Amino acid sequence: MKKGKKYNNQLKYNLTMHPSEELRGSKGSDLSGKKIILGVTGSIAAVECVKLVRELIREGAEVHCVVSEWGSKIIHPNSLEFASGNETITELTGQVEHVSHCGNVPDKADLFLVAPATANTISKMAKGIDDTPVTTFATTCVGSDIPILVVPAMHQTMYDHPIIMDNLKELQEKLDVTVIGPNIEEGAAKVAEKDQIVDSVVRALNDDLEGEKITVIAGRTIEPLDSMRVVTNKASGKSGLELAKTAYRRGADVELWYGDVKVDMPNWIPSRSFETLNDLLDMASDLEGTVVVPAALSDFSPKDVKDEKISSSETLTLKLKPTPKFIDRIREDVEFLVAYKAEDCREKAVEEAEKMIEEGRADIVVANSLEDVRPEENRVYITGEDDWVEGSKRKIAEKVMDRLKEELR
């Protein structure tokens, strides 16, 4: 009896809580309390919408889906209902769904995302034609000042049509619609990456770093030993990536400079690459605004660099020479500098961080012990904060940007 009662209680739990709730906020809270309407139209890219909905929920969002007739031929409304935990809107009824969700009403949607958006839907939105549930939602959102994001997806020949180009421009300039992507490849204007769409949604609803120019320098430098070999370090570039994405999500004008990295760099954030420290120094004159330097830059480089590959049969004695200190070189030329400092132990990390602040070598220093560094997590000391911050590199990036915002505002 006890076993059966336990099973019945578990069944009741499963029936009263939709499975999507188990995912809510699992990655972060950037969209917590936000109501997103996803408009799905008749592009084959609609097959990716289940993943997109789930990713929005992982950021804390409440998602409702509205699908056009042709969109429902690509992805079944039940799939979207399963993904979101909310009934999919396939037609407008006496419930006036477009008004109840997106009119000037209490608890109206925070954002309308059309992904994927076909050439047909883009053109109708630009001209105020609303003969599908998706375009009617769009017209209503324009009238009630709800932000709209459009993610085009179609064959490249359609995308290149001059009137489609004009309609996209009209959406952006006349209606203040944000257009995301597309990615032009294999003869198609492919839908933007899921992460780019989510980052753009978050950015549209967050503006606490809007207007700030931030350059993040990530990854590691490599210093050549011969025509084949280099001297480098273990840094992956993950911390810098998370800093750049966090700044982008919070509305900053971000540029990502990166050296040798072990992670994929987002193609939606403007970027530049470098290899050696000298490459980076040559680029330094372009720096302005705030500069954040989590990059692991070489402290030494080979004294003698060979033009040819050194034979592995030779005994090699490697002589190194110190390299210039990058943050000292740029200190006087940037408005605000966030430096990173790594030491063997926590006590030394704190000591060196505070010393850098006292000497005026940086405005904020993020320090850590090498023993705390893990592939996805870290523990850092941020000058001006009372306690160490421990957790995912994304969490730490958010804390660093919180501290930066305090100083800049």
Average pLDDT over residues 201-205: 97
Q: Among 66-75, 137-146, 295-304, 354-363, which stretch is predicted with the lowest mean pLDDT?
A: 295-304
* Predicted confidence (pLDDT) per residue in 186-201, tens digit: 999 999 999 999 999 9
117, pLDDT greater than 60: yes
141, pLDDT greater than 90: yes
Average pLDDT over residues 90-119: 95
Domain ranges of the chain: 20-205, 213-408
Rounded Cα distance between 102 and 97, Å, is 8
Q: Which residues share a beta bridge with 204?
A: none
Please say whether the beta carbons of 64 and 102 come within 8 A: no
Please say whether the beta carbons of 228 and 302 come within 8 A: no
pLDDT band for position 256 (cuts 50, 70, 90): very high
Rounded Cα distance between 102 and 144, Å, is 7
Domains 20-205 and 213-408 fall in the same CATH topology: yes
What's the pLDDT score for residue 1? 44
Average pLDDT over residues 259-268: 90
Segment holding 361, helix H or strand E: none
Reduced to 3 states (helix: H, G, I; strand: E, B; else coil), residue 391 is strand
Mean pLDDT of the chain: 93
Rounded Cα distance between 341 and 350, Å, is 9
State the burial class of residue 352 (Cβ atoms within 10 Å of its Cβ: 0-12, 13-18, 19+): middle
Average pLDDT over residues 395-405: 96
Average pLDDT over residues 307-322: 88
Percent pLDDT > 90 in the chain is 82
Please say whether the beta carbons of 327 and 337 come within 8 A: yes
Please say whether the beta carbons of 142 and 171 come within 8 A: no
Reduced to 3 states (helix: H, G, I; strand: E, B; else coil), residue 147 is coil
Please say whether the beta carbons of 407 and 363 come within 8 A: yes
* Predicted confidence (pLDDT) per residue in 41-62, tens digit: 999 999 999 999 999 999 999 9
Reduced to 3 states (helix: H, G, I; strand: E, B; else coil), residue 3 is helix
Count Cβ atoms below 10 Å from residue 99 Cβ, excluding itself.
17
Count Cβ atoms below 10 Å from residue 103 Cβ, excluding itself.
16
Nearest of 84, 66, 81, 77 to residue 21 by alpha carbon: 84
pLDDT band for position 13 (cuts 50, 70, 90): very low
68, pLDDT greater than 50: yes
AA letter at 268: W
What's the pLDDT score for residue 389? 93
Which whole-number Å values give the CA distances from 146 to 23, 107, 112, 169, in the listed order?
26, 12, 7, 19
What's the pLDDT score for residue 10? 52
Rounded Cα distance between 167 and 179, Å, is 11
Percent pLDDT > 70 in the chain is 96
Segment holding 185, helix H or strand E: strand 183-185
Reduced to 3 states (helix: H, G, I; strand: E, B; else coil), residue 321 is strand
Q: Among 7-11, 83-87, 123-127, 180-184, which stretch is predicted with the lowest mean pLDDT?
A: 7-11
What's the pLDDT score for residue 9? 53
Average pLDDT over residues 237-261: 95
The CATH architecture to which 213-408 belongs is: 3-Layer(aba) Sandwich (3.40)
CATH of span 20-205 = 3.40.50.1950
Nearest of 123, 122, 133, 113 to residue 48 by alpha carbon: 113
How are beta strands 188-190 and 183-185 bridged, if at all?
antiparallel
8, pLDDT greater than 80: no
State the burial class of residue 90 (Cβ atoms within 10 Å of its Cβ: 0-12, 13-18, 19+): middle
* Predicted confidence (pLDDT) per residue in 266-313, tens digit: 999 999 999 999 999 999 999 999 999 999 999 999 998 988 988 888
Rounded Cα distance between 309 and 289, Å, is 42
Please say whether the beta carbons of 219 and 292 come within 8 A: no
Average pLDDT over residues 211-228: 94
Please say whether the beta carbons of 175 and 122 come within 8 A: no
Rounded Cα distance between 197 and 249, Å, is 11
12, pLDDT greater than 90: no
